[in-house]
Amino acid sequence: MSFFGVERVRKKERELERKLRANDREFNLPFKYATNGIKTSKYNPFTFLPLNLFEQFQRIANAYFLFLLVLQVIPQISSLSWFTTVVPLVLVLTVTAAKDATDDLNRHRSDNQVNNRKVDVLIDRKLRSEKWMDVQVGDIIKLENNQFVTADLLLLSSSEPLNLVYIETAELDGETNLKVRQALTVTGDLGEDVEKLADFNGEVRCEPPNNRLDRFTGTLTHAGQKYPLDNEKILLRGCTLRNTGWCFGLVLFGGPETKLMQNCGKSTFKRTSIDRLMNVLVLCIFGFLAFMCVILAIGNCLWELKAGSQFTVFLPRQDGNSAGFSAFLTFWSYVIILNTVVPISLYVSVEIIRLGNSFYIDWDRKMYHPRNDTPAEARTTTLNEELGQIKYVFSDKTGTLTQNIMTFNKCSINGKSYGDVFDYAGQRLDITEHTDPVDFSFNPLADPRFVFHDHALVEAVKLENPEVHAFFRLLALCHTVMAEEKKEGELSYQAQSPDEGALVTAARNFGFVFRSRTPDSVSIVEMGEQRRYELLAILDFNNVRKRMSVIVRSPEGKLRLYCKGADTIVYERLHQSCGKLMDVTTEHMNEFAGEGLRTLALAYRDLDQEYFSQWKQRHHEVSTSLDDRDGRLDELYEEIETDLQLLGATAIEDKLQDGVPQTIEQLAKADIKVWVLTGDKQETAENIGYSCNLLREEMNEVFVLSGNSPEDVRRELRNALSSMKPAGDSTVLPDEAVNGEYGLVVNGHSLGYPLERSMELDFLRTACMCKAVICCRVTPLQKAQVVELVEEYKQAVTLAIGDGANDVSMIKAAHIGVGISGQEGMQAVLSSDYSFAQFRFLQRLLLVHGRWSYLRMCKFLRYFFYKNFTFTFVHFWYAFFCGFSAQTVYDEWFITLYNLVYTALPVLGMSLFDQDVNDKWSFQHPELYLPGQLNLYFSKKAFFKCALHSCYSSLVLFFIPYAAMHDTVRADGKDVADYQSFALLTQTCLLFTVTIQLGLEMSYWTAVNTLFVVGSLVMYFAVTFTMYSNGMFLALPSAFPFVGTARNSLNQPNIWLTILLTSILCVLPVVTCRFLFIQLCPTINDKVMLKVRQAKTKDPPLPRRARIRRTSSRRSGYAFSHAQGYGDLVTSGRFLRRPAPSRSSGLAHAGRSTTSFSPMGRSAGYSPTGRPQNAKVQDVEVTSLQMYRSVRDPAL
Amino acid sequence: MMASSYNAKEEDGHHPGASNNGGPGVVKSKKPDNTAFKQQRLPAWQPILTAGTVLPAFFVIGLIFIPIGIGLYVTSNNIKEYEIDYTGADPGDECYNCSQNFTWNSTTPCVCSVPFTLTQPFESNVFMYYGLSNFYQNHRRYVKSRDDSQLNGDSSALMNPSKECEPYRTSGAQPIAPCGAIANSLFNDTLELYYIDSNGTSNAVPLVKKGIAWWTDKHVKFRNPGGNDNLTIAFQGTSKPVNWRKPVFEMDTDPENNGFINEDFIVWMRTAALPTFRKLYRIIQKKSSSTPTLASGNYVLNITYNYPVRSFDGRKRMILSTISWMGGKNPFLGIAYITVGSICFFLGVVLLIIHHKYDTRNNSADIPG
């Protein structure tokens, strides 16, 4: 999609400034600005054939075969009939063209869909519904709530007060909170008065189209006045209007010039490392081919000089052909004959295998998520085998590792722990979906989604246990959550952090319903009784205090301070009388933390009126003072938050997705390094790191990079490095052995420094020595940078997995991008190569599908090269016995059909069905994954071995028949040493040999495989006998000259004895070598396969699914907000005056003043429409026959 | 060796969502089908190389191959073969003069006689071959220089031979029949065999010239043009190949062996795979069960020397051979079978030793992790 934009930009390179006038198409016309239509399709019906063929022949392989075809037409050179090349070539061209056509059709369709959307445009002083593509720069358009923004607009006016509009930018940057845009007052006054708007003739001068999402500069000139324009007044295409009745906007950029489209950037073409290796190999093969041809041409030259010149009696030369010229022709003739070293069917087969393996991913029921009915999807069909070579996994946190749901799981109240379920014997039960949840029906205001399993807690509430009541009362009062009650009894909470929401919801369900708040009061329903607490002060949270408190006056007039906070902080401020309770609670909290829960300690303090009035007075003074207000406030808070009475502790679970710790453990066993790159803050990320088993207590050390300057960071890196490995040089980056396990946590602001050139090596070295790396507060751009850093220096295959638009950049940067599907945003999925619903499916994708795909692809390539080299080399040996005349050893039909018919299906069958061990064993032994990372199955070395093996086989295949046939006659004395019989014998030997070899390679014989193998042999004989039959010969004597050969030679015992001898001799060394290797240095595969065999029919023992328990230090879950809380806002009541919008995320932008887009850089790639249909648009490139592209290397 | 790894049923991991089995009108679930094919658990046979299979296989192959090899070797050795090189390359040779004086246009054939002695009688049918060496019948330009349509009796191809036949396609204005370099270079020495009995009189050994070509060649591949028996008319308007002395329709007086279906011609047209080859020339039929076909004694081979091979260092041979069930004399297969069988056996022993020595290491218990 980028190319269009790029083209445009190139066309009018010199647009330095954009100038346009509202409502004046005549004025804007001469500038030739792009209209709002987009075009991502490539062809139309007329241009399709020539353009597509042109493109296809740009691929080196196709061009090569075309070239061969041309050579074959020249009679002097033609050593093979033209059909040997034409048949496969036409086949390939047709398939590719069909694929391209469907892709383009889809693009046309999605273009049309987008272009034909309707929008109200002000034309001729009237609002008319127009198609999107007809919208032009300078038009004024009207948008309504929940509509997509049509083009890049200058906001003119809106229905909301102060000319505000709310937009959701999820499609642009993945942030789901609403953002606010505000129009200029001068344009805002236009309102929705069509007349006034039609009269509006402001002129805009602004920057030319670019892809910066966060910046805009321009000026509006209206009625002689100049007004500056910035990003705050711009609505970008791709956003959605929310909570806003309507708005009017002036189109600034249309279609391809919008920032969205400009950002859609290159979707880089991903190739697998096997592809790259194959490119190199194919080049080598071409070189080798040329080398062989040169040798044979020289041979021909010598032969012509020596023997040929004397042999002219019987074989005259064409007039004037000297030996040199003959050698030249022979060179090309041999190029044709030996072209089978790189047959076109290789590329076709590779694509078919990848496609097949992609289908397996789509079909896998174990990667299907029933909850949102999402199967896994291989969106790119060309990367499968790379899945078996992953070394680094980069994962997002929120939505990927975690569900982004906080649940109130456990608590400890007054020394009693709640939340676990025990059976009658007192044994603790695991909570499953079948465990009875607590019935909250006694409470009409309860949130039905809240689930709790321990009935004891409800009993305690119902028994009016005072501590339990106080506990929940605290939770209901001490927070900054906003409540919204659209209908009576239907409460919804807007919390700044999900932790708080979870706590307040818990209180709500246990009968302490937070109902509403005003700046100075909080209304809660306590066990069905409405009570209003006077809110006297909020002692807000910040990162230093790590606690928040409220001071309230109960309806009875009692003053009380409620405090919740990190346990260590709260414990310091407890009254001595809580000593015993503290010990018990500490024990409980340790237990909670051990399960990966985030804990908070709760405490209260009764205040006496007098003290409080005095404190309040001082508080007032301090908060109005000017110097060092914060510090003095802290002191003041410190003073009142003392002598607290401990109530208990809460444990909140940041719900991991199912199976995340197990998955990470499995990946670790497979030596895959998992790096978590999250936008979340350090504490949260660290906590998740522990709870999903990434960071472990047993680790020798977890380093934290949090320096604020390059020097700090460098020092921290050096320290970490030196404690892992005392000395070393820092130029090469192999995987270094480290004694012990380490973890690394990098803070966002520090990450900026290591990503700079000077320090990246140090950083990478340190990071790669650690078992686990967590980067926090990372921007999307940094995510991509980290991925690229690893790719660049480690030469390792990377995988990025994420769910949001902020992960798009890293998904695109990594070799493999995986999107978590089934959630709201689709951006990640749209730019991903694979998508599924749950993180845990990753282990299946890699350890099963990836491993198998890699195994199959490698087996395929090894075998394919073997069979074709063997096939081809026989010609080479034969050359020495036929005067280097480019005479083929085999029948031409055999040459044509060898790759297409006789050997195609068996090898495809192997590459589609083969598995060394089944999926369960693959999970059981994740170390089976290691060979893939080390490129063991197919490398240059393996390729070289294949070539040597082929060389041996071809020698056997030529010289055994040679010796056996030499001067031999049939059992009736007639001739059988003729060329045709020899050809038949050799090709039959060859076919048997490669088939047996395939049998040795294949480790999984399904019925289909057997059918293919046996069927191909049967097919060979059927076809051979047919083509050598009288009927075929009589119909076309010159095409089927081998008449009778099969009948006359295959009935000879010595022919079959030769075939047997040749096959055995070819296989013998292979079996011996393999057996020796299995005996002497078995690979992991051999061992596991043997183990499987020993276990016979038994399934492997299921992997331990025991809960991972740790004895660990507590980590406070005070993950309230990133910044200072907004207690001030609550008390000031500023944002309470505005009626809460239907999706009241207004909160977020009132609280956080981040109304600008965060910098996204090149990451913002997603569909212009945001609908899944457009998925195709981006990956069509990738799904087409990639092999061709990969050969289209500039180096060629 | 055959570990079956078929798991017919497998737990599916997840509880089927309520939406999956709704009644009509419910959106069809996207849950993939649970077929063995799609879930990649087709029943399969998983052979692996183990000592239990490899070692017996080696021994069995060895045990099978060695007897076969011995059988083949003995059979081959029992075949009697006698070969005469009559090229006349050395001045002492009988045919030296003929080979030296050869000219294409000579009208008087040069005849030379080579006497030889068979020390052993040849039982049963004896086959007489001519052998050529250093003759590149498998050269690409040579091999393709023929027109199978013409040889199959196609009348249009007869008058308009394929371009492949160049430069032996036309002679003057007339098309050559049979065209092409192969036909042109037809072997045209005449070999006759005489038995010198104890009296010194020479008796001609009867040579059968029919039944030397493949049945398919004689009856399918090669056919004379035109329906009528008169080949002279059928070949009217064509020219004889340049090197030939007689046109194709005068090859033999027997109409069943004349024209394109002349068996000497057919045998020649079946081009050899290698530059050294032998072709069946005549058959000496066994006369009766009591007397050998060729008794031991003195013989004379009379050669009408027409075929020049000296120019390219070629060799001409006459071979007399009996045959067996495995064809002519060729000890290679027997030796190869014995060798391969022995190697297998030897490897079997070596591998057995290795297996016993290292068997413990093969224990799967040492899988790391």
- DSSP labels, B107-121: SSPEEEEEEEEESS-
Nearest-angstrom CA–CA distance, B182 and B185: 5
Give contacts of A917 with chain B, Cβ < 8 Å.
Answer: 5
Average pLDDT (A782-809) is 85
Sign of CA dihedral A306, A309, A310, A311: positive
Q: How far is A18 from chain B (nearest CA, A)?
A: 49
**Given B12, B278, B354, which is nearest A365 (Cβ)?**
B12
Give contacts of A369 with chain B, Cβ < 8 Å.
Answer: 14
**Given B333, B337, B364, which is nearest A1094 (Cβ)?**
B364
pLDDT for position A659: 86
CB contact (8 A) between residue A927 and residue B367: yes
Q: Give which of A64, A91, A57 is closest to A336, Cα–Cα.
A: A64
Q: Which residue does chain A place closest to B183, by CA atoms?
A: A314
Give contacts of B214 with chain A, Cβ < 8 Å.
Answer: 974-975, 1044, 1048
Asked if the model's pLDDT at residue A585 lies above 80, the reply is yes
pLDDT-based confidence at residue A954 (cuts at 50, 70, 90): very high
**Given A887, A1071, A1074, which is nearest B138 (Cβ)?**
A887
Binding residues of A for ATP: 396-398, 500, 541, 564, 598, 678-680, 777, 783, 806-807
Average pLDDT (A902-913) is 91
**Given A366, A968, A1043, which is nearest B221 (Cβ)?**
A1043
Length of chain A: 1196
Asked if the model's pLDDT at residue A6 lies above 70, the reply is no
pLDDT for position A7: 43
Mutual orientation of helices A466-477 and A455-462 as an angle, nearest 10°?
Answer: 100
pLDDT for position A1135: 44
Sign of CA dihedral A704, A705, A711, A715: positive
Residues of chain B with pLDDT under 50: 1-25, 362, 364-365, 369
- Name the token pair of A1177: 């648009």
CB B110 within 8 A of CB B305: yes
How many other C-beta atoms lie within 10 A of the C-beta of residue B4?
Answer: 12
Give contacts of A1071 with chain B, Cβ < 8 Å.
Answer: 49, 54, 57
Q: Give which of A994, A998, A899 is closest to A954, Cα–Cα.
A: A994
Give contacts of B320 with chain A, Cβ < 8 Å.
Answer: none
Q: Which amino acids of A are annotated catalytic?
A: 396
Q: Which residue does chain A place closest to B3, by CA atoms?
A: A1093
Q: How many secondary structure helices (H) and strands (E) does chain B include?
A: 10, 12
Q: How far is A1036 from chain B (nearest CA, A)?
A: 8
For the ranges A181-190, A637-646, B357-366, the lowest mean pLDDT is seen at B357-366
- Residues A764-774, buried b or exposed e (16+ Cβ, 10 A)? bbbbbbbbbbb
Asked if the model's pLDDT at residue A871 lies above 80, the reply is yes
Asked if the model's pLDDT at residue A1143 lies above 80, the reply is no
Q: How far is B3 from chain A (nearest CA, A)?
A: 5
Q: How far is A266 from chain B (nearest CA, A)?
A: 32
CB contact (8 A) between residue A1054 and residue B326: yes
How many other C-beta atoms lie within 10 A of the C-beta of residue A421?
Answer: 16
Q: Give which of A479, A643, A470 is closest to A558, Cα–Cα.
A: A470
CB contact (8 A) between residue B40 and residue A360: yes
pLDDT-based confidence at residue A14 (cuts at 50, 70, 90): low
HSE on the CB side for A76, CA within 13 Å? 12
CB B154 within 8 A of CB B338: no
pLDDT for position A433: 67
Nearest-angstrom CA–CA distance, B167 and A413: 109
Q: How far is A914 from chain B (nearest CA, A)?
A: 9
Q: How far is B111 from chain A (nearest CA, A)?
A: 22
- Name the token pair of B111: 């005849």
pLDDT for position A1123: 39
CB contact (8 A) between residue B330 and residue A1043: no
For the ranges A79-88, A533-542, A583-592, the lowest mean pLDDT is seen at A79-88
pLDDT-based confidence at residue A727 (cuts at 50, 70, 90): low
DSSP A367: G
CB contact (8 A) between residue A1092 and residue B3: yes
pLDDT-based confidence at residue A827 (cuts at 50, 70, 90): low
pLDDT for position A173: 57
Q: Which residue has the higher pLDDT, A422 or A333?
A: A333
Paired with B83 in beta bridges are: B319
User: Strands A645-656 and A673-677, how do they pair?
Assistant: unpaired
Give contacts of B134 with chain A, Cβ < 8 Å.
Answer: 307
Q: Which residue does chain A place closest to B347, by CA atoms?
A: A1072
Asked if the model's pLDDT at residue A1 lies above 60, the reply is no
Percent of chain A past pLDDT 70, that is, above it, reads 86
CB A599 within 8 A of CB A1116: yes
Nearest-angstrom CA–CA distance, B116 and B196: 10
pLDDT for position A959: 94
CB contact (8 A) between residue A368 and residue B31: yes
Residue with token string 């920032």? A259
- Residues A337-360, buried b or exposed e (16+ Cβ, 10 A)? bbbbbbbbbbbbbbbbbbebbbeb
CB contact (8 A) between residue A1047 and residue B163: no
CB contact (8 A) between residue A1006 and residue B44: yes
Nearest-angstrom CA–CA distance, B340 and B69: 9
Asked if the model's pLDDT at residue A428 lies above 80, the reply is no
Cβ pairs bridging A and B (under 8 Å): 335
Identify from B136, B165, B320 which residue to disrupt to test chain A contact, counting A C-beta atoms within 10 A and taking the largest count.
B136
Binding residues of A for Mg(2+): 396, 398, 803, 807
Nearest-angstrom CA–CA distance, A1089 and A429: 37
Nearest-angstrom CA–CA distance, A148 and B241: 86
CB contact (8 A) between residue B351 and residue A1053: no
Mutual orientation of helices A323-337 and A60-73 as an angle, nearest 10°?
Answer: 130
Asked if the model's pLDDT at residue A932 lies above 60, the reply is yes
Asked if the model's pLDDT at residue A435 lies above 70, the reply is yes
CB contact (8 A) between residue A977 and residue B272: yes
Supply the pTM of this predicted model.
0.81
pLDDT tens digit string along A41-63? 778 888 888 888 888 887 777 88
Task: State the Rg of chain A over Cα.
Answer: 37
Nearest-angstrom CA–CA distance, A841 and A845: 6
Nearest-angstrom CA–CA distance, A1166 and A1174: 9
Output A294-298 pairs: Cβ under 8 A, ≥24 positions apart.
A294/A331, A296/A330, A296/A331, A296/A334, A296/A876, A296/A879, A296/A884, A296/A886, A297/A327, A297/A328, A297/A330, A297/A331, A297/A334, A297/A884, A298/A327
What angle is formed at CA A1011 by the lines to CA A1005 and CA A1015, rounded to 5 degrees? Answer: 135
CB contact (8 A) between residue B19 and residue A373: yes
pLDDT for position A13: 53
Using left for φ > 0, alpha for ψ between -120 and 50, and beta otherwise, residue A659 falls in left
CB contact (8 A) between residue B54 and residue A1075: yes
pLDDT tens digit string along B117-150? 999 898 888 999 999 998 989 998 898 889 999 9
Give contacts of A305 with chain B, Cβ < 8 Å.
Answer: none
Nearest-angstrom CA–CA distance, B280 and B130: 7
CB contact (8 A) between residue A79 and residue B140: yes
**Given B143, B213, B336, which is nearest A887 (Cβ)?**
B143
CB A577 within 8 A of CB A555: no
Binding residues of A: 396-398, 500, 541, 564, 598, 678-680, 777, 783, 803, 806-807
The end-to-end CA distance of chain B, in Å, is 26
Distances (CA, A) of A556 to A531, A562, A609: 10, 16, 13
Sign of CA dihedral A68, A70, A71, A72: positive
Q: Which residue does chain B place closest to A1073, by CA atoms?
A: B351
Using left for φ > 0, alpha for ψ between -120 and 50, and beta otherwise, residue B180 falls in left
- Name the token pair of A1046: 């099969």
DSSP A1021: H
Q: Give which of A652, A536, A520 is closest to A595, Cα–Cα.
A: A652
- Name the token pair of A304: 């012509």
pLDDT tens digit string along B323-352? 888 888 889 999 999 999 999 999 999 999
**Given A310, A371, A965, which is nearest B273 (Cβ)?**
A965
Mean pLDDT, chain A, rounded, equals: 80
Non-local CB neighbours of A722 within 8 Å, separated by 6+ positions: none
Non-local CB neighbours of A291 within 8 Å, separated by 6+ positions: none
CB contact (8 A) between residue B280 and residue A975: yes
Give contacts of B332 with chain A, Cβ < 8 Å.
Answer: 963-964, 966
Q: Which residue does chain A place closest to B349, by CA atoms?
A: A1072
Nearest-angstrom CA–CA distance, A156 and A197: 9
Q: How far is B198 from chain A (nearest CA, A)?
A: 30
CA A600 distance to own-chain centroid: 35
- Name the token pair of A6: 């790029």
Reported as type and span, the H/E element at residue A721 is helix A710-724
- Name the token pair of A516: 């509403």
What are the backbone angles phi and psi of residue A969, rounded to the nearest 5°?
-125, 170
Give contacts of A314 with chain B, Cβ < 8 Å.
Answer: 135, 142, 181, 184-185, 312
Q: How far is B128 from chain A (nearest CA, A)?
A: 9
CB contact (8 A) between residue A1057 and residue B333: yes
